[in-house]
Amino acid sequence: MKKVIENKNLFCLPWTQTILGTHLEGRVNFMALDWVTRTNYDPPMIGACVNKNNASSSAILDTKEFSVNVPSVDMLEVTDYTGLVSGKRVDKSGLFDIFYGELKSAPMIKKCPLNIECRLAEPVELPTNFFFIAEIINIYSSEKFLSDGKPDVQKIRPFVLTMPDNRFWEIGECVGKAWDAGKVLRKRD
Amino acid sequence: MKKVIENKNLFCLPWTQTILGTHLEGRVNFMALDWVTRTNYDPPMIGACVNKNNASSSAILDTKEFSVNVPSVDMLEVTDYTGLVSGKRVDKSGLFDIFYGELKSAPMIKKCPLNIECRLAEPVELPTNFFFIAEIINIYSSEKFLSDGKPDVQKIRPFVLTMPDNRFWEIGECVGKAWDAGKVLRKRD
């Protein structure tokens, strides 16, 4: 029997935990970011949802550049910490060793297995949040996180967040192959 | 040592697998949807990225309504099937028992543990895709998928997709508490 969930602020999809990197008034800043997805296939684009009150929103509007960094599960504590304190109040620039790619205001975290360098294409202003649509300029990783030259989730070991229970989860067992498992139902066509 | 990944079409973040429900020229249609995230906190909004060539894009532009349904891992095959065949060619309306909430063109899948009823707020047109920003009208679930009245990921058993390896994954072990695990680093403030 279906029922309406009273809290429409659905959070319980597992979101991949990432860390947003920006330049906030000239200083490197980081913020835990969960609401992120792809927004366009070609050219490759991404979108990041940031509360208007967060320092990272003004940073992105100012520099029009940012990074999305994917931490391993062994970076869980420091990742969570970036979401506990505001860049307005605390200098988080020393938390990580960083590097830069093509963009001057998209600091990327060396220790993160995957780094996505982004140039703002379109800031969509919504009531309480900005949804920052951006072009993916480059993706960076290290050989040890790749298989056949491609990022390998079992080597990267990302983790996901569910809310409102506010728990982090590892990625579990492989349960099937996409664009393949459903072929058994093709007889219905 | 960091290196640039040549394929900028980064897919390897785990995306939660969902099924998009629409009315396509009056007929119920479904499509596997992976690129979905929250876009606003209050009012609760969501965003779904759909290729312009997909029948679901014209369906949403036409009716301005859709649903996002979260399948359990035991629905993996049929979920994958919805992404293998186009609604332009195949009638997928009989795949699932459906129900409706407040909206007339947002068919929802009874068997899916979680259903999100959405009204289009802003279709963002990008080069190859639409990013459909929508208000969450209601969320539906069943008692058996809830704990303390809230959706429980361990009861829902969603699964995630990684690309380009095109594999589905279960959610694994709980590895920490968000807005909490990072408190141990607060001494640095």
User: Chain B neighbours among A 111-150 (CB < 8 Å)?
Assistant: 114-116, 121-122, 124, 126-129, 131, 133, 136-143, 146-147, 149-150
Predicted pLDDT at B178: 96
Predicted pLDDT at B111: 97
Q: Which residues of B touch A158 (CB under 8 A)?
A: 13-14
Asked if A49 contacts A66 with a C-beta cutoff of 8 angstroms, the reply is no
Tens-digit pLDDT profile for chain A (189 aa)?
A: 888 887 777 666 899 999 999 999 999 999 999 999 999 999 999 999 999 999 999 999 999 999 999 999 999 999 999 999 998 899 999 999 999 999 999 999 999 999 999 999 999 999 999 999 999 999 999 999 999 888 899 999 999 999 888 999 999 999 999 999 999 998 655
Supply B167's token pair.
């594999």
What single-letter amino acid sits at B124?
A: V
- Closest CB to B139 among A10, A174, A186: A10
For A168-177, how does the pLDDT look when each residue is reduced to its tens digit (9 = 90+)? 999 999 999 9
Question: What one-character-per-residue DSSP string does B7-61 give?
Answer: ------SPEEPEEEEEEETTEEEEEEE--EEEEETTTTEEEEEEETTSHHHHHHH
Strand ranges inside chain A, DSSP E: 2-4, 15-16, 18-24, 27-33, 36-40, 45-51, 65-70, 98-99, 108-109, 114-125, 129-142, 146-147, 150-151, 159-162, 167-177
Residue of chain B minimizing CA distance to A4: B140
Q: Which residues of B touch A10 (CB under 8 A)?
A: 38, 44, 46, 114, 116, 136, 139, 151
Bridge partners (DSSP) listed for residue A6 = none
The whole model's pTM is what?
A: 0.96
Predicted pLDDT at A149: 84
Predicted pLDDT at B10: 66
- Closest CB to B143 among A3, A153, A180: A3
Contact B126 A40 (CB under 8 A): yes
For B41-85, how does the pLDDT look when each residue is reduced to its tens digit (9 = 90+)? 999 999 999 999 999 999 999 999 999 999 999 999 999 999 999
* CB burial of residue B102 (10 Å; 0-12, 13-18, 19+): exposed
User: Which residue, among B180, B34, B45, B30, has the nearest Cα to A16 in the 3D structure?
Assistant: B34
ipTM attached to this prediction: 0.95
- Chains A, B: CB pairs < 8 Å: 346
Contact B172 A170 (CB under 8 A): yes
Specify the length of chain A in residues: 189
Residue with tokens 């490759």: A44
Pairing of strands A98-99, A108-109: antiparallel
Mean pLDDT, chain B, integer? 93
Q: Which residues of B touch A122 (CB under 8 A)?
A: 124
Specify the length of chain B in residues: 189
